[in-house]
């Protein structure tokens, strides 16, 4: 061994008696040595409170002797790697997750040492990522959906860390998007029906109650509905059941029962009905069945029976008739047969 001493310093170089021909050590210091040693064959170990690595072009120590990078083994047993900015404040940290030190974690800090981004992983839930605002609270979260940890989830949060917009893939494999108002209630949802390939969209009031709903039905037809404060639907737009390529519009009363219906009927044009409080039609507007280019208006009694009709005949003449309670015609106004410009009025008996 070689032992060099001087004023307040010492260097000691020694070999060891090892059957495997390893174990050399260099020690620095006058009492508690800083050492570099081969503690096992081809394995080097250092012992010092502070290790500095530098080259001619890059120094890892600033003028205040604060480290730009550090590698540690922390008290809980996992390794830790830190980097530091020119101001000496830690800006990146890599270590183990406190919940399970075998899972990694990355922390990114601002110039004041506040956490700005956080990324970790776990065996059961996979990766997890957070972005934090200057107040230290999460404002964006990315991870696994609770319904299925193999599906993704993103949440955008407010200043109090409440989620106000979320996007995820649900357990059925369908996408889902929602937003919430300042009171935490839903105000918008975009997802699917029971069939994950059929979209559904809803808008909500301040209490989170659905007021507008739009979706694609399994019959491949679109449906749009609006709802009043009492929860009953008051407007419905969709396709007719018999001819799904034709549209229908229902306007309903406070009980959710249609008061007005407009629809397009294949081959016969448009039809409109108004309904009384008992649910029976009382006015109907449509096309003449024998000539769909001519108009037809009907008035109905309380049981939905037609009692008055106004129409344009196939020859272009106007025609008005009324019916008695037995259903037979009792009056008619039209043009005189053979004289289309002359008027004709008929009053019929009980059997029409």
| Residues 299 and 282 sit within 8 Å (Cβ to Cβ) | yes
| pLDDT higher than threshold 70 for residue 20 | no
Q: Which of 109, 105, 99 is nearest to 127 (CA)?
A: 105
What pTM does this model have?
Answer: 0.69
* Other beta carbons within 10 Å of 343: 10
Q: Out of 57-66, 75-84, 154-163, 298-307, pick the least confident.
A: 57-66
Residue % of the chain over a pLDDT of 70: 89
- Tens digits of residue pLDDT in 126-152: 899 999 999 999 999 999 988 888 899
3-state SS assignment for residue 96: strand
Q: Determine the pLDDT at residue 21.
A: 61
- Tens digits of residue pLDDT in 39-73: 777 788 888 776 665 555 444 433 344 557 777 77
Q: Which pLDDT band, with edges at 50, 70 and 90, does 188 fall under?
A: very high
Q: Determine the pLDDT at residue 57.
A: 46
Higher-confidence residue of 234 and 102: namely 234
34 contact partners, CB below 8 Å, separation of at least 6: 27, 28, 46, 47, 48
Full DSSP string of 248-311: EEEEE-TTS-EEEEEEEETTTEEEEEEE-TTS-EEEEEEEETTEEEEEEEEEE-TTS-EEEEEE
Q: Which of 36, 38, 63 is nearest to 51 (CA)?
A: 36
Q: Tell me how far apart the alpha carbons of residues 191 and 211 are, in angstroms, rounded to a whole number.
A: 16
Based on DSSP, count helices (H) and strands (E) in the chain, helices before strands.
Answer: 0, 29
Residue 54 token pair: 């530098």
């Amino acid at each position: 061994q070689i032992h060099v001493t001087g004023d307040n310093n010492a260097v000691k170089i020694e070999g060891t008696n090892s059957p495997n021909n390893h174990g050399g050590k260099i020690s620095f210091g006058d009492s508690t040595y800083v050492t570099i040693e081969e503690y096992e064959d081809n394995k080097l170990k250092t012992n010092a409170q502070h290790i500095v690595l530098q080259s001619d072009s890059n120094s890892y120590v600033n003028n205040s002797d604060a480290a730009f990078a550090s590698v540690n083994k922390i008290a809980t047993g996992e390794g830790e790697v830190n980097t530091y900015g020119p101001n000496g404040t830690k800006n990146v940290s890599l270590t183990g997750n406190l919940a399970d030190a075998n899972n990694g974690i990355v922390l990114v800090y601002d110039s004041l040492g506040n956490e700005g981004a956080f990324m970790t992983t776990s065996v059961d839930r996979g990766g997890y990522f957070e972005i934090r605002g200057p107040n230290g609270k999460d404002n964006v979260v990315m991870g696994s959906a609770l319904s299925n940890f193999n599906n993704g989830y993103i949440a955008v949060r407010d200043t109090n860390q409440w989620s106000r917009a979320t996007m995820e893939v649900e357990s059925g494999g369908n996408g889902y998007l929602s937003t919430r108002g300042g009171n935490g209630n839903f105000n918008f949802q975009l997802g699917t029906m029971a069939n994950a390939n059929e979209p559904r969209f809803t808008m909500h009031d301040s209490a989170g109650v659905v007021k507008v709903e739009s979706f694609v039905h399994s019959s491949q037809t679109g449906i749009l509905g609006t709802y009043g404060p009492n929860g009953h639907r008051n407007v419905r737009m969709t396709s007719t059941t018999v001819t799904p390529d034709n549209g229908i519009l229902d306007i309903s009363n406070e009980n959710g029962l249609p008061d007005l219906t407009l629809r397009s009927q294949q081959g016969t044009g448009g039809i409109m009905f108004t309904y009384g409080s008992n649910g029976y039609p009382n006015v109907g507007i449509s096309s003449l069945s024998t000539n769909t280019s001519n108009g037809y208006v009907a008035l109905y009694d309380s049981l939905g029976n037609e009692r008055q009709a106004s129409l344009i005949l196939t020859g272009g003449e106007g025609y008005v008739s009324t019916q008695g309670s037995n259903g037979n015609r009792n009056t008619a106004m039209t043009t005189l047969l053979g004289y289309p410009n002359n008027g004709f009025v008929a009053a019929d008996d009980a059997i029409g």
